[in-house]
């Protein structure tokens, strides 16, 4: 049987050949594009990776405390300020004097460097420090060196204001879950949720002003001062916590119970006794 006696067979074969040719042509086009993309990616990606590594190295170097005094950072505003600004302070005699302002972020960088060097805390054993560090860093997913710095700040401010450092750490846990950049619907900000419009005076010592609230150094200092004032006003830890959260009535909505429960968990994990 020949294709001449059945012309439809010839037409079918020609159509099949045409479709096959189009398919092969399309595959060749896509294969060529894939090859070009592969070549371009091979040339570009290593360059991007190198640039990212260089940027990372520059940033890490820039935030080192020793680098902040470098002349190259003279034009970076408050972050690289070489000449410290001053603020007016009124003495007990009513005399106004000018005192230098501190950088909240530069201060935290120094605290971070000291904590990373393994500075010991008086009255806390190495095993207790490890337990405390492990509990906070694992539960709240905080980087190791930062956890050490936050613990150090809690103990420094606790000593200055006669507060239990574990209470400060527990307040941070309940207020912000250790997120220094969180902000509530009411405008409370940072680790201890400080209301800057109410407690502006507690940030005046810093060159950054209200922006210092996002520095752990300034936020913990301000929050600890507020908690100290609340305890002085109410006369007890539960009363201080109710005051801290802004409760004016007999109930604080369970806030104090949550903070004290977290403090007990911190004490249990670290083996450090609570102080009232």
Q: Which residues, in sequence order, are bridge partners of residue 195?
A: 188
The C-alpha atoms of residue 113 and residue 117 are separated, in whole angstroms, by 6
* pLDDT number for residue 35: 72
User: Which band of pLDDT confidence, cut at 50, 70 and 90, is reported for residue 53?
Assistant: low
Residues 254 and 178 in one domain: yes
- Residue 98: what are its φ and ψ, rounded to 5°? -100, 125
Q: What is the pLDDT of residues 132-155, one digit of tens each?
A: 999 999 999 999 999 999 999 999
Residues 213 and 109 in one domain: yes
Beta strands 188-189; 86-90: pairing state:
unpaired
Residue 230 has pLDDT above 80, yes or no: yes
Q: Are 51 and 40 in contact (CB under 8 A)?
A: no
Instruction: Give me the mean pLDDT over the 75-87 stretch.
Output: 47
Residue 67 lies in a domain: no
Sign of CA pseudo-dihedral 228, 234, 240, 245:
negative
Residues 183 and 230 in one domain: yes
Instruction: Give me the mean pLDDT over the 177-198 stretch.
Output: 95
* pLDDT number for residue 78: 44
User: Which band of pLDDT confidence, cut at 50, 70 and 90, is reported for residue 82?
Assistant: very low
Produce one character per residue of 106-137: b if its CB has 16 or more CB atoms within 10 Å, e if not: bbbbbbbbebeeeeebeebeeebbebbbebbb
Residue 72 lies in a domain: no
- Residue 273: what are its φ and ψ, rounded to 5°? -75, 145
Share above pLDDT 90 across residues of the chain, in percent, rounded to a whole number: 53
The C-alpha atoms of residue 225 and residue 223 are separated, in whole angstroms, by 5
Residue 24 lies in a domain: yes
Residue 1 lies in a domain: no
Residue 91 has pLDDT above 90, yes or no: no
DSSP structure class, residue 264: H
Instruction: Give me the mean pLDDT over the 229-235 stretch.
Output: 94
The C-alpha atoms of residue 227 and residue 96 are separated, in whole angstroms, by 28
Q: What is the pLDDT of residues 62-79, one digit of tens each?
A: 445 554 455 544 444 444
Q: Are 116 and 145 in contact (CB under 8 A)?
A: yes
Residues 93 and 24 in one domain: no
Residues 152 and 208 in one domain: yes
CATH number for the domain that contains residue 258: 1.10.530.10
Q: What is the pLDDT of residues 15-36, one digit of tens each?
A: 777 777 777 877 778 777 877 7
The number of domains in the chain is: 2
Residue 129 lies in a domain: yes
Category of 94 on φ-ψ map: left (φ > 0), alpha (ψ -120 to 50) or beta: left
Residue 71 lies in a domain: no
Residues 188 and 256 in one domain: yes
Residue 14 lies in a domain: yes
Instruction: Give me the mean pLDDT over the 42-64 stretch.
Output: 56
Burial class (CB in 10 A: 0-12, 13-18, 19+), 175: buried
- Share the mean pLDDT of the chain: 81
Residue of higher predicted confidence among 235 and 14: 235
- Residue 188: what are its φ and ψ, rounded to 5°? -70, 140
Token pair 């070549």 is found at: 39
User: Which band of pLDDT confidence, cut at 50, 70 and 90, is reported for residue 261?
Assistant: very high
Residues 135 and 184 in one domain: yes
Residues 16 and 99 in one domain: no
User: Which band of pLDDT confidence, cut at 50, 70 and 90, is reported for residue 220?
Assistant: very high
Residues 224 and 152 in one domain: yes
Domain that holds residue 18: 7-62
Share above pLDDT 70 across residues of the chain, in percent, rounded to a whole number: 73
Residues 101 and 157 in one domain: yes
Q: What is the pLDDT of residues 101-126, one digit of tens each?
A: 688 899 899 999 988 888 889 999 99
Instruction: Give me the mean pLDDT over the 234-258 stretch.
Output: 91
Which two three-digit tokens encode residue 25?
């042509």
Residues 17 and 123 in one domain: no
The C-alpha atoms of residue 273 and residue 276 are separated, in whole angstroms, by 10
How many angstroms separate the most distant Cα atoms in the chain? 123
Residue 166 lies in a domain: yes
Q: pTM value? A: 0.67
Residues 123 and 225 in one domain: yes
Identify the three-state secondary structure at position 102.
strand
């Amino acid at each position: 049987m020949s294709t001449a006696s059945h012309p439809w067979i010839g037409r079918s074969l020609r159509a099949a050949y045409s479709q096959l040719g189009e398919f092969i042509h399309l595959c060749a086009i896509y294969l060529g594009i894939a090859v070009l993309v592969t070549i371009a990616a091979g040339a570009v990606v290593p360059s991007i990776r190198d640039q990212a590594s260089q940027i990372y190295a520059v940033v890490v170097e820039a935030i080192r405390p020793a680098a902040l005094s470098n002349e190259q950072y003279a034009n970076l505003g408050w972050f690289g300020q070489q000449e410290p600004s001053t603020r007016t302070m009124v003495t007990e005699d009513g005399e106004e004097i000018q005192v230098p302002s501190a950088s909240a972020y530069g201060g935290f960088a120094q605290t971070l460097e000291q904590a990373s060097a393994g500075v010991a805390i008086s009255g806390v054993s190495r095993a207790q420090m490890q337990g405390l560090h492990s509990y906070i860093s694992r539960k709240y997913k905080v980087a190791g060196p930062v956890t050490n710095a936050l613990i150090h700040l809690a103990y420094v401010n606790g000593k200055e204001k006669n507060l239990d450092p574990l209470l400060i750490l527990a307040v941070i846990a309940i207020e912000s879950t250790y997120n220094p950049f969180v902000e509530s619907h009411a405008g409370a900000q940072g680790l201890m949720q400080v209301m800057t419009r109410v407690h502006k005076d507690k940030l005046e010592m810093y060159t950054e002003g209200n922006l210092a609230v996002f520095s752990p150094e300034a936020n913990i200092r301000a929050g600890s001062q507020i908690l100290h004032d609340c305890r002085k006003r109410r006369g007890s830890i539960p009363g201080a916590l109710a005051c801290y959260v802004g409760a004016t009535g007999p109930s604080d909505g369970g806030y104090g119970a949550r903070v004290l429960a977290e403090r007990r968990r911190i004490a249990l994990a670290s083996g450090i006794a609570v102080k009232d």
